[in-house]
Amino acid sequence: MASQQKFSHKLQRTAGKIQQNRYMSAISNGLMSTLPFLIIGAFATLFSALAWEPYQNFIAPVKGMIGLASTMTTGIIAVYAVFFIAYRLAQTFDKDPLIPAATSLLSFLIVTPVQSFDTVRALPLQWLGAQGLFVAMIVGLLASRLYIWFVDRNWTIKMPDGVPPTVVKTFSGLIPAILVALLFVIVAGLFMQTSFGTIHDFIYTYLQVPLEGLGGSLGALIAAVLIMQVLWMFGIHGAIVTLAIVKPIWMSLDLTNLEAFQAGAPLPNIIGMAFWSLFCNYAPMLGFTLLLVFMAKSKQLRTIGKLGLPGSFFSIHEPLIFGIPVVLNPVLAIPFVMAPIICAVLGYFATTIGLLPAPIGIYPPFGTPIFALGFLEGSWKLAVAQLVLIPISMLIYYPFFRTLDKQALNKELEAQEKLEQEQTGGTTASPVIS
């Protein structure tokens, strides 16, 4: 037990280090901050691309206008991402985040090529959306960090006393901002000398595509879920720790799908945040909870089941994980780890054989109920699939649930016997029947 606790503490520390790493958390929280815009874009996409002919005919005159709301949100999500990631990073240094965030946005735009078409000069939307997301993450972190580094070295303009603080603030940011901008001008210039032309082409080809290939595979999903569930087994929030690493990749996969969906093209990716949430995050625990509520003979388990049931519909599982507990419970280790993996594999194959459509890649807002999420991801089929996985999860959990229930029931009976013995005087323990 002591060694188990030691291991648990070690794991806690490691998890903390990963999740609290300022650069990881800046990316993660920065991407989270884009959520309002992602949601606006997602709904605009749904409303403009809903494949139902009478509806399409009806909205035909305003379709372009509805599309604007998604083009200017999910379509240029890298612009929002670079700002918010830089903002979040500056916050971790306890610096006023506004100027470094804006400077990062400037840096991102500097390295994004302006293209000329006849009389029109334009920023290519191609690099402002999902395809520019990795550059946004890199530039967001780099520009913001450099800005702070310059500020910390005091490479700033000092104002005499008596100058209003707002003015002081503006000027103190001036030199760091100029230096950062200059650096990125040089970066942009250097890339122009290469065959890539821009940093976007380079990062997309050599970083984003390979990482997406890796992160978008079934193996990566299984590995991520495995780590998540094992962390939960040790009482650590597995999802936020694991997602700190895979979310950037999964989100860009999802956004690529969403762009394709809006363009009416086939969806290129299966795995992403949306897929994970759809198939791993609801049914496994919901199935287990239903077993507890309807089939447990142990009063304690039934009580916890009832307590956890409402949350389970919204993928909130903490009451169960700590109440039963799942944490450090050898009986539940196998189904708790395996159920979401089996659900993911089933979902993956159902998608590859064409039984289910790929999710359209709307970022799954935390707390969306099961079934509703399926619809949000583009199809009633996904909603139904979410429900179909519930009885499957119940089957996976059932044998382990029986053992758990027996253990809990025995404990309850023992406690009750003890209580009865105490009530009848305690000494007359011999169960002799004359």
Match 């913001």 to its residue by tokens.
Answer: 144
**C-beta of 350: minimal distance to another protein in Å?**
29
Q: Is 265 exposed, middle or buried, given 0-12, 13-18 or 19+ CB atoms closer than 10 A?
A: exposed
**C-beta of 17: minimal distance to another protein in Å?**
8
Contacts of 290 by beta carbon, 8 Å cutoff, 6+ apart: 305, 309, 390, 394
The residues facing 117 across adjacent strands are 120
- Binders of another protein among 219-258, rule CB under 8 A? 232, 235-237, 239-240
Could you say whether residue 7 binds another protein (CB under 8 A)? no
> Which of 21, 23, 29, 175 is close enough to bind another protein by CB under 8 A?
29
> Which of 173, 272, 284, 319 is close enough to bind another protein by CB under 8 A?
319
Selected range binding another protein among 62-70, 176-184, 203-211, 307-315, rule: CB under 8 A: 307-315
> Which of 206, 322, 349, 380 is close enough to bind another protein by CB under 8 A?
322
Q: Is 434 exposed, middle or buried, given 0-12, 13-18 or 19+ CB atoms closer than 10 A?
A: exposed
Residue among 308, 305, 309, 328 nearest 318 (CA): 308
How many residues touch another protein (CB under 8 A)?
33
Q: Which helix (H) or strand (E) holds 116?
A: strand 115-117
Binding mask 72-111 for another protein (x = CB under 8 A): -------------------x--------------------
Could you say whether residue 36 binds another protein (CB under 8 A)? no
Could you say whether residue 329 binds another protein (CB under 8 A)? no
Could you say whether residue 367 binds another protein (CB under 8 A)? yes
**C-beta of 259: minimal distance to another protein in Å?**
27
> Which of 285, 321, 370, 408 is close enough to bind another protein by CB under 8 A?
321
Q: Which helix (H) or strand (E) holds 120?
A: strand 120-122
Burial 202-216 (b: 16+ CB within 10 A, else e): bbbeeebeebbeebb
Residue among 189, 85, 203 nearest 145 (CA): 85
Selected range binding another protein among 57-65, 198-206, 219-227, 324-332, rule: CB under 8 A: 324-332
Q: Which helix (H) or strand (E) holds 122?
A: strand 120-122
Selected range binding another protein among 13-21, 118-126, 152-160, 376-384, rule: CB under 8 A: 13-21
Distance CA 335, CA 324 (A): 14
CB 314 within 8 A of CB 422: no
- Please give the residue ranges that form the binding site for another protein (CB under 8 A): 12-13, 15-16, 19-20, 25, 29, 32, 91, 232, 235-237, 239-240, 304, 307, 311, 314, 316-325, 327, 366-367
